[in-house]
Amino acid sequence: MELKRLGASGVMVPEIGLGTWRYSGGSEPLRRGIELGATLIDTAEMYRTEDQVGEAIAGIREQVFIATKVLGSNLRYDAVLRAADKSLRLLGIDKIDLYQIHWPNPSVPITETMRAMERLVSDGLVGYIGVSNFSVEDMMDAQSAMQNNPIVSNQILYNLRRRRAERDVIPYCREHDIMVMAYSPLHEGALVGNGGGRLRRALRLGGDQQVLAEIADETGKTAAQVALNWVADQEGVIAIPKSNSVARTEENCAASGWRLTADQRQRLDRAFAV
């Protein structure tokens, strides 16, 4: 598993982590992922999966980097502290490695939220502070509201079909040493014909997926591995796919440790144009 630096923290994290939104796989897929080096687990108070994560990491906590999130509706000072306390209890740990603000909330002054986030760090309950779904302006405001800590990551929607962040958020993050954590890297499964539901119906099953299939053939990898590798190959970006299955978790972990050729990247970039 290739590692990347978590922004200014200097901590190294795997380029493929484990997402847990709508996760119902129990301990096994997460434990297998950890064995394979996917030692970053992403959860959130919103997902109601912190307890499952807690069970999966029992006894191996020191091997895992735990990222969770406070809801955008819990960003008042006291609410942040309460939410962190609840997450710590559900996860069964005494420190959250990365605490992220799930969504910006313009009705709460960012200075108030960041004061609480920094208090959690100084109290030893949180290692590093991250954000999610923050625009460039949101990140600038959040960073200026902090006294002693850098924002180390921004978790955003990013995959072959959703590349808007390439215009502004990703370049800004690179310039300011903020790691990008790409969520829904498989477009909720729709990129690889899985996941059912809304996104699959909305898909244009066209030439772009043909190119993905061709490159999977050429590399001897699966379409999911190609799609994840395309994300994780980018400077300062990691991917956090979610899977309820051990087999697909193994498949996703094997998306690291090799690289697409420049020509293959270009063909994907062209087929899935922004």
Asked if residue 21 lies in contact with residue 53, where contact means CB atoms within 8 angstroms, the answer is no
Give the tokens for residue 33.
């992922």
Residue 182 or 262 with smaller CB distance to ligand NAP:
182
Q: How far apart are CA 236 and CA 216, in angstroms?
A: 24
Minimum Å gap between C-beta 40 and ligand NAP is 10
Give the tokens for residue 133.
């779904």
Using CB under 6 A as the binding criterion, the count of chain residues that bind ligand NAP stands at 28
210 contacts ligand NAP (rule: CB under 6 A)? no
Residues belonging to the chain = 274
224 contacts ligand NAP (rule: CB under 6 A)? yes
Asked if residue 185 lies in contact with residue 239, where contact means CB atoms within 8 angstroms, the answer is yes
Minimum Å gap between C-beta 185 and ligand NAP is 5
Give the tokens for residue 129.
């502070």
Given candidates 9, 68, 74, 132, which one binds ligand NAP under the rule CB under 6 A? 132
Minimum Å gap between C-beta 194 and ligand NAP is 3
Asked if residue 272 lies in contact with residue 160, where contact means CB atoms within 8 angstroms, the answer is yes
Q: Which of residues 84-103 bind ligand NAP (CB under 6 A)?
A: 102
Cβ atoms within 10 Å of 191's Cβ, excluding its own? 28
Residue 114 or 238 with smaller CB distance to ligand NAP:
238
Q: Which residue's beta carbon is nearest to the bound ligand NAP?
A: 19
Which sequence positions are flagged as catalytic? 47
Q: How far apart are CA 246 and CA 182, in angstroms?
A: 21
In degrees and rounded to multiples of 5, residue 224 shows phi and psi of -60, -45
Residue 120 or 242 with smaller CB distance to ligand NAP:
242
In degrees and rounded to multiples of 5, residue 154 shows phi and psi of -130, 120
Mask for 14-53, x = binds ligand NAP (CB under 6 A):
-----xxx--------------------x-----------
Minimum Å gap between C-beta 52 and ligand NAP is 12
Minimum Å gap between C-beta 31 and ligand NAP is 15
Residue 162 or 264 with smaller CB distance to ligand NAP:
162
Helix (H) or strand (E) holding 129: strand 126-132
* Cα-Cα-Cα-Cα dihedral sign, residues 191, 195, 196, 197: negative
Q: Give residues in contact with ligand NAP (CB under 6 A).
A: 19-21, 42, 102, 132-133, 155, 183-189, 192, 194-195, 224, 240-245, 248, 251-252
